[in-house]
A and B are shown apart, each in its own frame.
Chain A
Amino acid sequence: MKGCACCQTKESCPFASAMEGKAGYKGRILLMGNPNVGKSAIFSRLTGVHALSSNYPGTTVGFTEGRLQLGKAAYRLIDVPGAYTLEPTNEAEEVACRILDEGADAVIVVLDATALERSLFLALQILEKGLPTVLVLNMSDEARHKGIEIDEKALEREVGVPVVSTVAVSGVGIKELLRAIGEARIVIPHHSSNEERWQRIGEIVSRVQRISHRHHTFKDRIEDISVHPLWGGILGAFVLAISFLSIRYIGEGLINYVLDPIFDAFWLPLLERISTALGGEGLLHSLLIGSLIEGRIDLEQSFGVLSTGVYVPIVMVFPYVLAFYAALSILEDIGYLPRLAVIFDALLHKLGLHGYAIVPNLLGLGCNVPGIMATRVLESERERFIASTLISVAVPCAGLQAMILGTLGTYGLKYVLTVYGTLFAAWLILGRILHAALPGYSPELIVEIPPYRLPRLRGFTTKLFFRAKEFFTDAIPLVFVGILIAGLLYESGIINVLTGAAAPIFDGVLGLPPETAGPILLGFLRKDVAVGFLLPLGLEPHQLVVASVTLSMTFPCIATFVVLLKELGVKRLLEALAIMIIAALAAGGTLNFLFSLAR
């Protein structure tokens, strides 16, 4: 399956449901189970389609579908978001229930072999729906390692449907699963109460599972320390600091020692030849190569599609995007993210959220789109509105951060820190205001913390490859469009009309020359490109700080806009937009005022 053009991640495509109904399928099969039991890993094994999988509950919030070949017939296999129960307690569970209610030719219920009892609760609820079902005991290796032995055949007799043991990440048991799907069976549906279900589960577990006693291991110790009031906080600060530093140095290293030399040696000479061939001027020249700076092409400031249009996304932004996702993928696969939820819970409660909202916010630091999609793990509409608004206002995406580092970094670290500090303050203050102003209460954190796992190299590289590929297929075309449109706006003089209209606000409130209005408006297409457009204006460093903050906080980029519309609806989107504009002007204006005091 391919997501729509504006989606950073295919599985989070807000239009995925509209792309249903493809011909050639004999029917549909659902893959269901508790959060973080490995459904996406099994999905990838069965279909060959990459589905993002990590070690934390709620990785899949939309649904991914792929083609499952069973003998001669092809089925649509749907990777359903994780659920603990069919009585939905959050948006992801609601999605899961809706998909199940639409019916299926078979349901594959994935159980966590290390948490059989809990896994069976959802399994029994699904079995009661009277659909052909197969049970999968995933992570059977980890269960054995923990001294848990489950008698597959006995479980099969108890529940009356086929049971297969698997280790999805390494592919063990997948062949057997494919065979078992054909033998999926219906058990006579009868509705029972939760009490009856737990009683039944107790009986089943006592008959099929044997646990040998196991001592506290070193890994258990680390898991405990990670949520310790003091050591957990110190470890968290350490992990975040290491992550940010490595992103910075990897990103910077790739730019200075790999990409810049390559571009200077090969790309620039090629462009110079094209420029000469075009005669150094004219409409085509200014669109493709841009304007010459002191008679030469400047990759950062010429603003042609082939010069700056290629240089900004590939050399200035991509290394940071890659470094960010490398760090994030490792944290995801180890299973560290839910521990951050424990550490940040008390702080996030002050913003009307609970600790798990840290996960969407962190994802937003890569790209706001998956961040906002991930707010589906939050329970209430109120929380989702607060979190989505905070992400689009105060969480800068990797592209934007790369450009802020690349431009302001040359003037000194204090300017970069001022931008980050302002955004963080805006995040706190706006969250506090929204929490106070919006009616309703905030639900509390209830989240399972997965065991630490060693990331697998293959999983890591595949994930990084797909995230990098999405940057090239989804983000870079928008950069080209942005630079083309900007070129046309400048060439036609329309930009002068816009800047004229914006002058009072920019000059009066933000202390910026009216020409900055152009780049900030262009932020609607891509914010990283917009920062690039600020460069030739010759702003003072403090003006660049104000402009960067205003650009970060104001209007979302088009991809974020689309996902906000889809997730929040028109009315809430308009409210969020009003908040963004007011917040951006307030923050930019305050900074400008403070700078004027300092001078």
Chain B
Amino acid sequence: MNVEVPLNELPDEAEAYILSLPHGESGRRLEAMGLRPGKRIRKVYGMPFHGPITISLDGRQIAIGHGISAKIKVRPASKEENR
């Protein structure tokens, strides 16, 4: 399975691998916070009305605005990869 979905479309509580980050300052900021291609994350929840997405990265929560989350591409973890 090798599908690419934007982070905001990943179902709540699903795990995924980061494929790419947006260009520019927000991407740089996320990278400095340790979010970069290849990292495994869990989407905690997304807020309604284009609210932010909260992810869990290495056991830490990061809240990411809706617009940016749409530009973060992830690959959902397959069943075998789920621990």
**Which chain A residues have a beta carbon within 8 Å of chain B's beta carbons?**
84-85, 87, 89, 114-115, 117-118, 121-122, 146, 194, 198, 223-224, 227-229, 232, 338, 341-343, 345-346, 349, 354-355, 379, 443-449, 451
Q: Which residue of B lies closest to A112 (CB)?
A: B60
**Distance in angstroms between the alpha carbons of A379 and B28 in the assembled complex:** 13
Residues of chain A within 8 A (CB-CB) of B50 are: 346, 349
Contact A87 B28 (CB under 8 A): yes
Contact A115 B60 (CB under 8 A): yes
Q: Which residue of B lies closest to A355 (CB)?
A: B52
**Distance in angstroms between the alpha carbons of A114 and B61 in the assembled complex:** 12
Contact A445 B32 (CB under 8 A): no
> Could you jot down 14 A-B contacts, CB within 8 Å?
A85-B28, A85-B32, A227-B63, A229-B51, A342-B52, A345-B63, A345-B66, A346-B49, A443-B26, A444-B26, A444-B65, A444-B66, A446-B63, A448-B61
Contact A346 B31 (CB under 8 A): no
Residues of chain B within 8 A (CB-CB) of A355 are: 51-52, 63, 65
Partner of B54, one of A85, A118, A449: A449
Contact B60 A342 (CB under 8 A): no
Contact B32 A448 (CB under 8 A): no
Residues of chain A within 8 A (CB-CB) of B62 are: 446-449
**Distance in angstroms between the alpha carbons of A428 and B53 in the assembled complex:** 24
Q: Which residue of A lies closest to B59 (CB)?
A: A146
Residues of chain A within 8 A (CB-CB) of B81 are: none
Q: Which residue of B lies closest to A230 (CB)?
A: B48
Contact B45 A346 (CB under 8 A): no
Partner of B29, one of A84, A198, A341: A84
**Distance in angstroms between the alpha carbons of A393 and B57 in the assembled complex:** 38
Contact A445 B64 (CB under 8 A): yes
**Interface mask (B21-60 → A, CB under 8 Å = 1, otherwise 0):** 0000110111111101000000011111111101000111
Contact A449/B61 with A115-B34, A342-B54, A346-B48 known, Cβ cut-off 8 Å: yes
Contacts A115-B34, A447-B63 supplied; 18 other A-B pairs, CB < 8 Å: A85-B29, A117-B34, A118-B32, A146-B59, A223-B61, A227-B47, A227-B54, A228-B45, A232-B45, A338-B63, A349-B50, A444-B65, A444-B67, A446-B26, A446-B29, A446-B33, A446-B63, A449-B60
**Distance in angstroms between the alpha carbons of A87 and B68 in the assembled complex:** 19
CB distance from B14 to the nearest CB of A (A): 13
Contact A229 B45 (CB under 8 A): yes
Contact A227 B45 (CB under 8 A): yes
**Distance in angstroms between the alpha carbons of A223 and B62 in the assembled complex:** 12
**Distance in angstroms between the alpha carbons of A445 and B26 in the assembled complex:** 9
Residues of chain B within 8 A (CB-CB) of A448 are: 33, 60-63
Q: Which residue of B lies closest to A120 (CB)?
A: B34
**Distance in angstroms between the alpha carbons of A338 and B63 in the assembled complex:** 9
CB distance from B29 to the nearest CB of A (A): 4
Contact A446 B34 (CB under 8 A): no
**Distance in angstroms between the alpha carbons of A118 and B28 in the assembled complex:** 13
CB distance from B54 to the nearest CB of A (A): 4
CB distance from A224 to the nearest CB of B (A): 5
Most B CB contacts (10 A, CB to CB) among A227, A355, A443 go to A227
**Distance in angstroms between the alpha carbons of A227 and B61 in the assembled complex:** 10
Q: Which residue of B lies closest to A231 (CB)?
A: B45
- Would you list the 5 A-B pairs with minimal beta carbon distance, nearest first? A444-B65, A118-B34, A85-B32, A84-B32, A449-B61
Residues of chain B within 8 A (CB-CB) of A345 are: 47, 51-52, 63, 65-66
Most B CB contacts (10 A, CB to CB) among A114, A118, A446, A449 go to A446
Contact A343 B47 (CB under 8 A): yes
Residues of chain B within 8 A (CB-CB) of A146 are: 59
**Distance in angstroms between the alpha carbons of A122 and B62 in the assembled complex:** 18
**Distance in angstroms between the alpha carbons of A229 and B52 in the assembled complex:** 10
Most B CB contacts (10 A, CB to CB) among A85, A115, A349, A445 go to A445
Contact A446/B30 with A346-B49, A354-B65 known, Cβ cut-off 8 Å: yes
